[in-house]
Structure 1
Amino acid sequence: MNNEELNTYFTQQLIDMASERLGGETLACSDDFFAGMENLLKPGRGVFIDDKYTDRGKWMDGWESRRSYGRDNGREFDWCTIRLGIPGVIRGFDVDTNHFRGNAPQSVSIEACVCNGQLDDNTEWTTLLPQTPVDAHSQNLFSIDSDQIWTHIRLNIFPDGGVARFRVYGDPSIDASQFLPGELIDLASIKNGGRALLCSDMFFSDKNNLIMPGRGVNMGDGWETKRRRDPGPDWSIVKLATEGSVNKVLVDTAHFKGNFPDRFSLEGTNGSDSDVLAGNTEWQTVIGEQKLYAHREHLFMQEIESAQQTFTHVRLNIFPDGGVSRMRVFGYRKEDLK
């Protein structure tokens, strides 16, 4: 795939598991004299303000170390360790040097580890990306072939310099140890391993906003389609974290006051991602059409028609169009129903 195709694949089909929004955190770095390491995981690509300076030099929207190359400071490269907000299988990286034109690294390498406690000198790191050249002021995209679940990343930059943003794209994995046997779980939550696979339209905002943590902060923090000129519906398919039942559903139209859907319905199916995406599965009604209202949390339990069945995917249908801030699909894992 070329860079444009790779970027589309990363952003439309995978999750940035290091995102600050999902709980990703920069833990430590060798040096961040000019710009803090925490900027790496912020949203967007970073900005440049021409005349903004700090008492340490030019303000930069990213992580930037002081100059070390050719100096006797004992460092051959700089590094930053990151705890993923969601553990999972890593499919690719975006090392974005946006606005770092004369101060970008020459090359990078990336390592990963599995750690349930604190990183220390005994942590075993595995190289996922060997030392590879990067371009200044560019999105440097790298595809990774690894099927292991990872929890932490170490970004190494050679010999020094600045990176605006760092994305770790992959497939989140549910951690069964985080739940009690028989616990009611939000199976759609991105934090638990859910993922929005496909939608009819996301003109105004991304489909994965629908399953993000917390309530939406504004109208842009939801899933919103363009205006239809037919009865609809628009729809979004969510892969559940694991196969399970649907016992309680919450549909939140927070901040959608003049553009909320008139009605919604929810369907479920069992199948692989490829079958679902190819349209080779049968959809079954979970909740028939129900009225929605502006800027409100809507809770549905009695309306659920198939609480005794299990599903791998659900499809939210909105009539005729509009915006939904969040959807929660609470149920029990299939193995807990035995």
Structure 2
Amino acid sequence: MQQQNDHPYKTWIDLAAQRLGGQALQCSDDFFAEMENLLKPAAPVFIDDKYTDRGKWMDGWESRRKRVVGHDWCVIKLGAKGIIHGVNVCTRFFAGNAPQSVSIEGCVSEIAPNDSTEWQPILIQSNVNPDSDNYFGIESQEAFTHIRLNIFPDGGVARLRVYGEPVIDWDWFLPGEPIDLAYVKNGGRPMACSDMFFSNMENLIMPNRGKDMGDGWETKRRRGGRECDWIIVKLGAKGSIEKVLVDTAHFKGNYPESFTLEAACLEPHQSPDENTEWHEVIGREKLTADSEHFYRHNIQNKGQHFTHVRLNIFPDGGVSRLRVYGFLAEKEGE
């Protein structure tokens, strides 16, 4: 399977990721290998001499050979409701037992889908290659909570990745409640960074505290060149910045010496570039190892509205999480 940094949808979030709450709910058949394997975060593996009482052990979802008319399917609850831009139906190690083709449908439901659920096509029936990554672009602009992967007629799929942008129901929040505008489930998305040699930039805005040093954003040791490393995060919505959390959990010998935080206000669909005007939100502050760092009283430009933030770390190192709390511009009469 390709490294996460190499796939064509690397700037989007895997909406079906287990750490967001993605879950395989039900399937037509998983006789040889359980449906839960589809959403495992790790790349699939193959163990040559491993068997179960049902046959060859496979690291994926695999149905038995279908001897009746029809096809197999699996229903996935997305970890975050969102607009899907691309998928990877990975058939790695399913060389002689991959499906011939697949399709994907979606729905919006507050409960687990059932026989009365109305499904909408997302990906028309398309051929897949065995033992391969199979990437498909998705053109729908609708947001979905669940998808159904159909495989024709049967076979095995190692992993399913569903890349897109979370769409939050802002009515869930109470009037005047501060919101983490950078949080992945609130629509935050990393746009670019100077380096992510050791771990992916999307970790910075994931749920909970990092579970280990690999669950954060970490750059390689900088040997000259640029003054600092940086990451740009698109906020889930335009809003003010009232308090900030920078967490260096598990980074003990490789945390940044210090950081600054800047913000910009861009038009919809506009991306930051060399001409973007950045405003200082937090001046240069020291960081310590394996700690949460809270900032409220020293926030600059409070009340001003922003769409993007840029975290600069000096000179390099690792940060586990970034939280940017503020108020929605729309709720303030803008």
TM-score range, shorter chain: over 0.9
Equivalent residue, structure 2, for 1:96: 90
Q: Are residues 1:8 and 2:3 paired?
A: no
Cα distance in 2 between the residues matched to 1:92 and 1:258: 37
Amino acid at match of 1:224: E
Q: Match for residue 143 of structure 2? A: 149
Letter of the 1:292 partner, please give it: L
The aligned counterpart of 1:249 is: 244
Match of 1:118 in 2: 112
2:22 paired with 1:27: no
Output the CA distance in 1 between the equivalents of 2:34 and 2:125: 23
Amino acid at match of 1:242: A
State TM-score, norm by structure 2: 0.95
Whole-Å Cα distance in 2 between the matches of residues 171 and 193 of structure 1? 6
1:266 to 261, 265, 277: 261
In the alignment, does 2:228 pair up with 1:233?
yes
Alignment of 1:188-199 (within 5 A): 188-199=182-193
For residues 44 and 175 of structure 2, the distance between their equivalents in structure 1, rounded to whole angstroms, comes to: 43
Q: Which residue of 27, 34, 44 corresponds with 2:42?
A: 44
Distance 2:267 2:210 in 1: 30
Aligned-pair CA distance for 1:121: 1.7
User: Quick one: distance in 2 between partners of 1:208 and 1:90?
Assistant: 17
- Cα distance, 1:303 vs structure 2: 1.3
User: Match of 2:181, as an amino acid?
Assistant: L
Task: Give structure 1 stretches of 5+ with no counterpart.
Answer: none
Q: Secondary structure at the match of 1:66?
A: coil
Moved >4 Å (runs of 4+): none
Secondary structure at the residue paired with 2:134?
strand
**TM-score, structure 1 normalization:** 0.94
Moved more, 49-58 or 249-258: 49-58
Matched to 1:37, the amino acid is M
1:321 corresponds to which residue?
316
The reply on whether 1:305 has 2:305 as its aligned counterpart is no
Instruction: Say which SS state the counterpart of residue 330 (structure 2) adopts.
Output: helix
Distance 1:273 1:33 in 2: 47
Quote the offset at 1:274 in angstroms: 5.5
Deviations 1:165-185 (A, max 9, x none): 001111211221321121111
Matches within 5 A, 1:172-251: 172-230=166-224, 232-251=227-246
| Residues 236-245 or 124-133, more deviating | 124-133
**Residues 7 and 145 of structure 1: CA distance in aligned 2, closer, same or farther (over 3 Å):** farther
Is residue 62 from structure 1 mapped to residue 60 from structure 2 by the alignment? yes
One-letter amino acid matched to 1:115: S
How far residue 225 of structure 1 moved from its aligned partner, in angstroms, is 0.6
Deviations 1:249-297 (A, max 9, x none): 1101111111100000100100047543333321000000000001111
Name the structure 1 match of 2:133.
139
Deviation string 1:156-207 (CA, Å, 9 cap, x unpaired) is 0011110000011112112213211211111111011100111111111101
User: What's 1:292 paired with?
Assistant: 287
Q: Which amino acid aligns with 2:63?
A: S
Alpha-carbon distance, 1:31 to partner = 0.5
When the two chains are superposed, the root-mean-square deviation of aligned CA atoms in Å is: 1.8
Structure 2: state its 5+ residue gaps: none
| Matches of 1:159 and 1:36, distance apart in 2 | 17
Counterpart Cα distance in 2 of 1:53 and 1:181: 56
Secondary structure of the equivalent of 2:140? coil
Provide the rounded CA distance (Å) in 2 between the counterparts of 1:267 and 1:87.
Answer: 29
The number of residue pairs the alignment matches comes to: 331
CA distance in 2, matches of 1:157, 1:181: 45
Structure 1: which amino acid aligns with 2:221?
R
Distance 1:39 1:274 in 2: 36
Greater Cα shift, 161-170 or 172-181: 172-181
Q: Secondary structure at the match of 1:38?
A: helix
